[in-house]
Amino acid sequence: MILAVDVGNSNTTVGLFDEAGKLTLRALLETSRGKTRDQCAIDLLGVLNLYGAQARAVDGAILSSVVPPLTAVFIDAIARLTGKPPLVVGPGIKTGLNIKAEIHNQLGSDIVASSVAAIDRYPSPLVMVDMGTATSLSLIVGSVYEGCSIMPGLALALDALSERAAALPPISLESPSTPTLLGHTTEEAMRSGVLYGHASMVDGMVDRMEAELGQAVTVVATGGNAPRILRYCKRHIHYDADLVMTGLYLLYQRNAKKHRKA
């Protein structure tokens, strides 16, 4: 079995793949920058126990992290839990992607993993949309990662409204209660603006990328906020909740022999 862990700014995703490469476990933990190696190991052990999996049955592990203070913590936690140091997505790893030189060392490891899975599963050219703490749109042509645009995510935009505008209250992220764009209360207006506005942003950015590229693209979305947004998008967009996990598994398979020798 292969353990895959993706440490994001808001959440940490844990996945377990069986010998056939099937994702048999997928769990979500809150990312906490203050946790120690032992606390992270306990969290991972709890997830495995919850789903009836054994830590010592793990044959290998791979880690993706966009939270630098937690990267070393999770490396130690995974090694202690499984008895094997994880492969870490970063410089020196074989990806199969031709990443533009200017952004090669700046690209988030989660976007790298998602891109690897996207080009394996969807026709090119494609736009890969990741809707997490931030919303990013990456353009990939063949195996070439052309670049990306990064915008505030759904929750960030909503928090900014209530924090910076004194008259706008904190609200929950729910579907608008009215079928029209115009809300009749402050809460309805905020939900409509944030949800329809985010969907329009995604539609508009993909339109602009197609115009710049000069041809149509396949669009695939992942991330925790994607289900909330895609229903309001006018474009057809594939939703793939396991894009990062699939990418991590593919990266592990491409680098496993070299990692074991090291």
Question: Looking at residues 48-58, what average pLDDT do you find?
Answer: 87
Amino acid at position 173, single letter: L
**Per-residue pLDDT reduced to its tens digit, 67-98:** 888 999 999 999 998 888 999 998 888 888 88
**Can you say how many angstroms the Cα of residue 163 is from the centroid of all Cα atoms in its chain?**
26
| pLDDT over 90, % of the chain | 48
Q: Which residue in 105, 102, 79 sits closest to 92, CA to CA?
A: 105
187 pLDDT exceeds 80? Answer: no
Task: Return d(Cα 220, Cα 122) in angstroms, integer.
Answer: 8
**Per-residue pLDDT reduced to its tens digit, 240-258:** 999 999 999 999 999 987 6
- The count of other CB atoms within 10 Å of the CB of residue 75 is 20
- Spell out a b/e string for 107-124, using b for 16 or more CB atoms within 10 Å of the CB, else e: bbbbbbbbbbbbbebbee
Amino acid at position 119, single letter: I
Give the pair of three-digit tokens for residue 153.
């995510």
Q: What is the pLDDT of residue 106?
A: 64
Asked if 141 and 124 count as a contact pair (C-beta separation under 8 A), the reply is: yes
Q: What is the pLDDT of residue 92?
A: 82
Question: Looking at residues 2-23, what average pLDDT do you find?
Answer: 91
Domains of the chain: 2-88 (3.30.420.40), 98-244 (3.30.420.40)
The secondary structure of 133-164 as a DSSP string is SEEEEEEEETTEEEEEEEEE-HHHHHHHHHHH
Mean of pLDDT over the chain = 87
Furthest C-alpha separation in the chain: 63
Q: What is the pLDDT of residue 175?
A: 67
Name, in order, each residue with C-beta under 8 angstroms of 111's C-beta and a sequence gap of 6 or more.
128, 130, 136, 138, 148
* Set 18, 43, 76, 110: catalytic member: 110
Q: Which residue in 236, 224, 7, 223 sits closest to 130, CA to CA?
A: 223
> Is residue 38 among the annotated active site residues?
no
Q: What SS3 state is found at 109?
A: helix
**Per-residue pLDDT reduced to its tens digit, 109-166:** 888 899 999 999 999 999 999 998 889 999 999 989 998 899 888 887 777 777 767 6
1 pLDDT exceeds 80? Answer: yes
Helix (H) or strand (E) holding 64: strand 60-65
User: Can you list the alpha helix ranges (DSSP code H) found in the chain?
Assistant: 37-50, 68-82, 109-121, 154-164, 186-213, 226-230, 243-261
Asked if 136 and 201 count as a contact pair (C-beta separation under 8 A), the reply is: no
